[in-house]
Structure 1
Amino acid sequence: MIQDGSLSGERFRPRFIDLFCGAGLLSHAFKSVGLRPALAIDLDKKAIQSYRNNVAKCAEVADVRAVRTDISADVIVAGPPCQGFSTLGRRDPQDVRNELGLSVLEWTSALNPKIVVIENVPGFLQSHWFDEISQGLKFQGYETQVFVLDAIDYGAAQKRGRAFTIGSRVGRVDMPTPRKSRPRTFKDVVLNRPIKADDPMHVWPTPSALAMERFQAIPERGGKRDLILNRPDLCPQSWHGLIGEATDVWGRIDADEPSNTVRCSFLNPSKGRYIHPFENRVLSLREGARLQGIPDSWVLAGEPTPIARQIGNGVPIPLGRAIAKEVMKALTREHMAETSYSAAA
């Protein structure tokens, strides 16, 4: 009987390397479907500590531009910085971080993995950096595909679009099939699952007196517009001419809907719709982590602001797992074909 992609019944566990690994959300997703992390690299010391505490001990503080040739892997996954491409950022084409993604080509050239997965914001696909990486992968012999997916379609209780550029030398990697069930909501992942009182990540900033007054004046599903209309005394003069503009800032989350994108700044109500649906506070670190699919067993390293950055920088784990499953299927097909050929010979 064939089990786990092996004619002998032995478990097939390909190895992967994670570049720009952050706290390890994408690595956790790949590990959960049977791949083994061989190396993870990031410059953020606290993120690496979180990775080592929660995913695997193979994480190192290092510059991705220093390519390693003393290691092998079947897969390389990479999440280059997105600040230069995100609609939520400055979208500066001169941002020096934009070119870091090109280092992935040096790794693939040196290590010759079977599959490479590069994730970023959808805006990345309109950049010349994407064109260079895509053409570089094709030049190295990879068949390339691009998927633009929303995390709510794959089990995350969060609206978050991500672009996945996949290069393969083992045949096509299929696009993950979206879930047919209704999207998961804030209520599903936060309100219906009580958080332990002693959870060290169930913390949030203490609001100032002004912030507390604003919280108290914002109704369910309300936001900045309600403050301008109902409590103009709590609003700076600069707000009054902006009533028709985006109202997600200083907004309460709708408990019956998925949340908006959990940014690195979700502890700040002026950065988005990050106020608790009913309580007069912003999300806690644990609540933000749950919206990203991070297990409650994880405790991230650092102070609240660096922890929020680790949470917001990651790929929602349910979305990452959907991609990882398809990568594992492609690797398993190739492994089975090789094993069958060897047995026949």
Structure 2
Amino acid sequence: MTNKSVVPSANGRPTYVDVFAGCGGLSLGLERSGWQGLFAVEKDRFAFETLSANFLQAGSKFTYEWPAWLERCAWTVERLLSEHRRELFKLRGNVDLLAGGPPCQGFSSAGRRRPDDPRNTMIERYLELVDLLEPRLLLLENVRGFMQDFKAGAKAAKLVRENFAAQLTRRLSYRYEVQSTLLRASDFGVPQTRPRFILIGVRRGSGLPAAPLDDLASARDAVLARWGLRAGTSAREALSDLEIGRNELVRCADSPGFEAIGYREPLTPFQRAMRDGDDKPPTDTRLAKHTAQVRERFANIIEMCREQERSTRSLSPAMRDTLGLRKMATRVLDPSEPAPTVTSMPDDLLHYGEPRTLTVRENARLQTFPDWFVFKGKYTTGGHLRRVEVPRFTQVANAVPPLLAEILGERLRTYCLGSEPSEATPAICVSPALLAS
């Protein structure tokens, strides 16, 4: 029986809104697990262009029930709240899930972890949306640093006395039963270690039981079995079909003067799953233009890392001195292990066997984006634009891995509905007037 507290969409699916949506990794996983998106909110024009290309086109595999009152373009949450507060309020009680995580750069251990980073204030906008929509469930994903206190210091102490996870839990707890955990993506079939903070909120009085994360392992096993996957997928299992040595190089369709990796056939169950039944060659295989000197340096780095213990694929200080490197984050993929966390800097990770950085598509594979998923906008950016633009490499790095999102969506859908949705089960639909007004 369908849970009476859930309001399915016109197609019988429980509904969600994806906020701070990025390029759509979380939306893709939720859609695959049986959820119906109403709309998504993303401020960067490149990321929204990717979102639009994959979810808002005729023939898209998954689409939102986009409301007539909301222009299909990049929106800041602030602007959405300012211009469409009345329309958002009308959706109150008709949204099952508010999904998404505020920008994480101010919390990330890969960055400077500034407590005064203006992106951290997006939590306030997130809470405003919760107030307006009153969704039955909340799903928030963020970096591990979301759970960590900032270092002591006069400036930090004045601004932040507890970590953001504790703040958010405390501020939500009078309306929501909150459960949170730290997950490692590689335990969920993602070929990347990637620790992630997950928070689930269940609205008090919604008729839903507490502790939705308690049976997450069953959802993981069901989804991985559906795709023929397992936990602990290695970098080679994810990427071997995209090795230059196995494929011819072709001209890059969207970047004149660049070469791209041609593509033939998948070699592993993971690669077949990423093909997702699509026979077209994947996009975004453009190779970086490395000079002969850079390729030689990368070859030396790869060889040095091979000689170390397998658990250490990063360069020691002595090795950096030998190579004359200042960059601290460079790591080499271990072909037999999941990759380290994908970052927005293309040269943070080197290929396990070829003297080069990874392509956007290879990073997308490590994030479990299917090969049919296309990315739009610039490939990279630099200088002052790095704080205001989200090019393809950054879109991939910032995304929720779709496979992890699908597992979370599977758990929350069965949790909401109590059983598999049936065609015979009458659906209480979102009123078309709520989306059209």
TM-score range, shorter chain: 0.7 to 0.9
Q: Which moved more, 1:100-109 or 1:173-182?
A: 173-182
Report the CA distance between 1:324 and its aligned residue: 1.1
The aligned residue for residue 234 of structure 2 is 185
Please name the residue that 2:271 is paired with.
none
The residue that corresponds to 1:115 in the other structure is: 137
Distance 1:208 1:228 in 2: 24
Q: Which runs of 5+ in 1 are unaligned?
A: 240-245
Partners of 2:101 and 2:141 within 8 A in 1? yes
CA contact (8 A) 2:234 2:337 kept: yes
1:275 aligns with 2:358: no
Q: Is the 1:15–1:75 contact (alpha carbons within 8 Å) kept by the matching residues of 2?
A: yes
How many residues were matched structurally? Answer: 319
Residue 286 of structure 1 corresponds to 361
Q: SS in structure 2 opposite 1:325? A: helix
Task: Spell out the pairing of 1:136-155 with structure 2 (5 A cutoff).
Answer: 136-139=171-174, 141-155=175-189
Q: Distance in 2 between matches of 1:328 and 1:112?
A: 18
Assess, with a 3 A threshold, how the Cα gap between structure 1 residues 12 and 250 changes in structure 2: closer, same or farther: same
Check the 8 A contact 1:143/1:171 in 2, yes or no. no
Q: Distance in 2 between matches of 1:152 and 1:203?
A: 26
- Tell me the CA shift for residue 335 of structure 1: 11
Counterpart code for 1:312: A
Q: How does 1:115-264 map to 2 (within 5 A)?
A: 115-126=137-148, 127-139=162-174, 141-169=175-203, 170-172=208-210, 173-175=212-214, 176-177=216-217, 181-192=230-241, 196-197=262-263, 199-220=282-303, 221-222=305-306, 225=315, 229=319, 232=322, 234-235=323-324, 249-264=329-344
Q: Distance in 2 between matches of 1:81 and 1:25?
A: 14
Match of residue 315, structure 1, among 396, 400, 407 = 400
Q: Report deviation, 1:49.
A: 1.0
- 1:294-324, Cα deviation, whole Å (9 max, x unpaired): 0100110012111001000001111111111
8 Å CA contact retained: 2:179, 2:213: no
Structure 2 CA distance for aligned equivalents of residues 146 and 4 of structure 1: 23
Cα offset for 1:228?
5.1
Which amino acid in the other structure matches residue 204 of structure 1? L
Q: Is the 8 A contact 1:99 1:129 kept in 2?
A: no
Per the alignment, residue 30 of structure 1 pairs with 30
CA RMSD, aligned part only? 3.1
Residue 79 of structure 1, CA deviation: 1.3
TM-score by length of 1: 0.83
Runs of 4+ in structure 1 over 6 Å off: 2-6
- The 10-residue stretch of structure 1 (315-324 or 170-179) with the greater mean CA deviation from structure 2: 170-179
CA–CA distance in structure 1, aligned partners of residues 231 and 16 of structure 2: 32
1:304 to 365, 368, 379: 379
Larger mean Cα displacement after TM superposition, 103-112 or 57-66 = 57-66
Output the amino acid matched with 1:285. V
Q: Distance in 2 between matches of 1:215 and 1:285?
A: 18
Q: CA deviation at 1:327?
A: 1.2
Task: Give the % identical residues.
Answer: 28
Q: How far apart in 2 are the matches of 1:97 and 1:227?
A: 33
Matched, 1:95 2:130: no
* Pairing 1:64–2:77 present: yes
Aligned-residue offset at 1:34: 1.0
| Post-superposition offset of 1:125 | 2.0
User: 2:159: which partner in 1?
Assistant: none
Cα distance, 1:76 vs. partner?
A: 0.4
Deviations 1:281-301 (Å, cap 9, x if unpaired)?
A: 111111000000001001100
Separation (CA, whole Å) in 1 of partners of 2:320 and 2:28: 45
Change (3 A) 1:122 1:224: closer
> What's 1:15 paired with?
15
Instruction: Tell me if structure 2 keeps the 8 A contact 1:49–1:301.
Output: yes
Q: Distance in 1 between matches of 2:167 and 2:293?
A: 49
Q: How far apart are the structure 1 equivalents of 2:350 and 2:338?
A: 14
- TM-score with structure 2 setting the length: 0.66
Query: Is contact 1:228–1:235 with CA below 8 Å preserved after alignment?
Result: no
- Please give the alpha-carbon distance, in whole angstroms, between the structure 1 residues aligned to 2:75 and 2:42: 6
